[in-house]
Structure formats: structure tokens, C-alpha cells
Amino acid sequence: MGPRLRGGDEGGYSGEPIMGYYPPMLHQSLIDTAQAIAGDIVALRRAIHAEPELGLQTPRTRDKIRAALAHLPLDWREGASTTGLVATLKGGAGEGRSVLLRGDMDALPMPEETGLDFASRTPGVMHACGHDAHVAMLAGAAELLCRRADGLRGEVRFMFQPGEEGFHGARFMLEDGLLDPLPDAAFALHVMPNAPHGLVGGRAGPLLAAADQFEIVVEGRGGHASLPHETLDPVPVACEIVLALQAMVTRKFNAHDPVVVTIARLEAGSTHNVIPDRALLKGTMRSLSPANRARLREEIARIAAGIAAAHDLSARVDIIEGFPVTICDGGAVGFGEAVAREMFGERAFLRLEAPIMGAEDFAYVLEKVPGAMFFLGVSREGEDWASCCGIHSTRMMVDENVLPQGAAYLAGLAEAFLERGFG
């Protein structure tokens, strides 16, 4: 995930619901009930925040979720690869559509510097991407929908997923069969601390980028730094490759289907007067289409090998595959926009003009199921949201007053979809 969700002065709930998928009174009931259970939503978020976990195995978080929802009429499924959970609510009004709501569970390997009373008690681990809030909002949505289960036709599945921060947790849960049979629609909500309070944002098509890592090893022949002509120095070759990759981005790819290539690490040598045998480059590449993703891999390998060969050296390129492009269904985004405006007012939703070059493994779900991810602004009401610390910051903060809105929105998406589909 990445940069800011910009929305000018757009705010949250304005008290002016508009007619749409079902009567505003039902929406208001969701909002009121969400506010009534706000204490439970916040308490779960804080408990998870204080004990963050990494990767695919998040047993303490799983147990907190199970305990918080133990009183509800949910059917639970778990897989072999992760501690992920899928809870299913069967509507009391008979068979119908199925809809999936997803919240991710894992934290990041970084220290926390927020000063919160419930700050992480695990050194070097922090919920800096808001996944604690995602779980709490999803659990709140489960509570809301279970209270309205008698009027629901179809089923709602609540996907609590670990391993989003680079561990492909959604892919593993799909491979474990936890989403079989596939639902008719899928939605996820991601908090954004540097966005206007309560604003919901999204866009049709590519929302977030594919993200792959790469390593380039330039092999030469080292020797004394005073005799470079007797060596095959990999350092200037590595530097040439870095510059060539930046030229490649601007000269080989259409700016309307952008890619990003960043070399973030360069390692070579051990002291000032020894030319090393090899140089190592590590970086990330981002793309917004499957075609450019594949082409980018080919171009990087070709450039590295060609420049190295021109200097009588060799280069090896290794690709570490990341998440695919997060592509949101146009009908799902239009539906989500309508629900947001119905629930929270005409100015509650922002259509993003451009994708964000961060990445999300909800992309794996959206490859198989029509749906969308939306962002929710969680800056404090009235503060300068543009200057707030963003996600993946050691000082990232969430205004917990927005969490009931997120829970109500997720529940509203599910209830409206079961009632009418995307419309």
C-alpha cells in the first residue's frame, strides 16, 4: 500500500442519505447499531494492536477473533497453510447470492513510536498498515449482519486473512479451498490515515499495482584498486545498469500504462582499495497491467545481461514474484459508490483519478471473483489530513471514531448485494 488518498474537502456522513438499493432507514439502522457496539469494535482493535503478529501464522489474532465472535451463529473454516479463518453466515430468508467481506490480520516488522497506551508489546513489530482496524471493522460487520440475519437471503462470508504483507496469504487461503465455492462478489476495506475523515474512495479497473522484487548479480574479477585495467570491475557496470533501467522506464513503456522500477539496495566491495568480484542490486518493479508486468521482467533481464556482456562481465537476474495487479470490477465500484452515498451522504465517496503504485494481495481474490477494494479515511475530523503519518510509518495513527462507519459500510455492502446484486 502507499501514497495518500486525496479528496479535497470531502467529508464523511452528512446526514443526507439518497435513495438507492434499499431504504435509507435500513442504512440508518446499521449506522446506529454500529455506534452502539463501537466500544466492542475499538476494544478488539486495541487488543490486536497490542499483540501484533507477522506472516501466515497469527494464532493470537485468530484466537481473539474467535473469542469476540463466539456468540454468533457462524460456521467456521480453517485451512492447513495459514491461521486464516472464513466464517459463514446463512441468511434466514432462504437461498440466494453469496458475498465475501475480507479483513487482513498481520502486522509489519518495524518498531512503534506512537506513544499509545495500547502500543505494541512485541519489540520490532507494529500494526502500521491498519490491519488491526480491518479485523475490528470486519468483526463489527459480522455482529451487525448476524443481528439482521432473519431478513437476509443468501450468505455472507467473513474472510480473516493473515500474510498480506508480502506473504501471499490470500493465495494460500484460495489454494486451501477456504473460498470454495467461490462467492458471487467480494469486497475489502483499507484504512488510509492521510485521507479526509470518513471519506470512502475507490476506482474501477487497476487500483493497485503488481509488485515484484528482483536481484541482479554482476559477476566480474576483482583485484587491486590501483590496477583496474587488470580486473573486470563490476561496480561501474552495476551503476550503468541502474541508469539504463531508469531510461528503460521512460523510453520503453507508455506513460498511460505506467511502470516503476526502483533500485533500493546496491552492495559491492569490502574496503576502499579492493575491486570486488561481484556487485549486487536489489529492487522493486511495479506495473498496472499483466502485459507490462511480463514485459518488465524480460526487459530487465535483457538490459542487465547486455550491459554486462558489453564489458566482458556477466549478470544474473532473479525475480521474486509478488502480488498481481489489483483490478476492481466496474459494476462493483459503482455499486460501492452508491451504497456509500446512500449511507453517509452525497459527498461521502471519491472516485480516484489514478491508481496507487502500492500492492495488495486481495488482488488474488479479485482475479477470481468480481468485486472491489475501497479506502476509508481515518484522519481525525478537522485535522490537516494531508500531513498525517501514512501507512507503514512508525507513528501511523487511526481515528477510532471512524471504525463503526467502516463496520456499517461493510455490512451495508453485503446486505445490499444480497438484496439486489450490483444492480
Q: Are 167 and 55 in contact (CB under 8 A)?
A: yes
Tell me, rounded to whole angstroms, the distance of Cα 111 from its chain centroid. Answer: 20
Q: Span 82-103, mean pLDDT?
A: 96
pLDDT at position 23: 55
For residues 296 and 409, give the distance between their C-alpha atoms in angstroms, rounded to a whole number.
38
For residue 24, pLDDT over 90 is answered with: no
Q: Reduce the DSSP state of residue 320 to 3 states and report it.
A: strand
pLDDT at position 201: 97
Task: Categorize the per-residue pLDDT at 26 as very low, low, confident or very high, splitting at 50, 70 and 90.
Answer: low
Q: Span 98-117, mean pLDDT?
A: 97
More confident residue, 334 or 423: 334
Q: Residue 63 corresponds to which cell in the numbers above? A: 484466537
Q: What share of residues in the chain are helix, strand, coil (percent, to 5)?
A: 35, 25, 40
Distances (CA, A) of 358 to 108, 166, 189, 206: 15, 12, 15, 11
Q: Give per-residue pLDDT as tens, 206-242.
A: 999 999 999 999 999 999 999 999 999 999 999 999 9
Selected from 3.50.50.60, 3.30.450.20, 3.40.630.10, 3.90.550.10, the CATH number assigned to the domain covering 24-208+325-420 reads 3.40.630.10
pLDDT at position 30: 93
For residue 4, pLDDT over 70 is answered with: no
H-helix segments, 107-182: 131-147, 169-175
Task: Categorize the per-residue pLDDT at 386 as very low, low, confident or very high, splitting at 50, 70 and 90.
Answer: confident
Q: Give per-residue pLDDT as tens, 80-89.
A: 999 999 999 9
Closest among 387, 326, 320 to 358, alpha carbons compared: 326
pLDDT at position 25: 61
pLDDT at position 67: 97
For residues 173 and 163, give the distance between their C-alpha atoms in angstroms, rounded to a whole number.
10
DSSP line for 77-125: EE-SSSS-EEEEEE-TT-S--EEEEEEE---BSS---S--TT--SSTT-
Listed range (317-326, 378-387, 399-408) with the worst mean pLDDT: 378-387
For residues 338 and 348, give the distance between their C-alpha atoms in angstroms, rounded to a whole number.
10
For residue 10, pLDDT over 60 is answered with: no
For residues 261 and 263, give the distance between their C-alpha atoms in angstroms, rounded to a whole number.
7
CATH, domain range 210-320: 3.30.70.360
First-to-last CA distance in the chain?
A: 30
The share of the chain scoring above pLDDT 90, in percent, equals: 88
pLDDT at position 388: 77
pLDDT at position 384: 79
For residues 414 and 48, give the distance between their C-alpha atoms in angstroms, rounded to a whole number.
25
For residue 95, pLDDT over 70 is answered with: yes
Closest among 65, 38, 37, 41 to 51, alpha carbons compared: 65
Domain ranges of the chain: 24-208+325-420, 210-320
For residue 185, pLDDT over 70 is answered with: yes
pLDDT at position 15: 35
For residue 168, pLDDT over 90 is answered with: yes
Q: Residue 406 corresponds to which cell in the numbers above? A: 467502516
Q: Residue 205 corresponds to which cell in the numbers above? A: 479497473
For residues 342 and 408, give the distance between their C-alpha atoms in angstroms, rounded to a whole number.
12
Q: Give per-residue pLDDT as tens, 357-375.
A: 999 999 999 999 999 999 9
Per-chain mean pLDDT for the chain: 92
CATH fold match for the domains 24-208+325-420 and 210-320: no
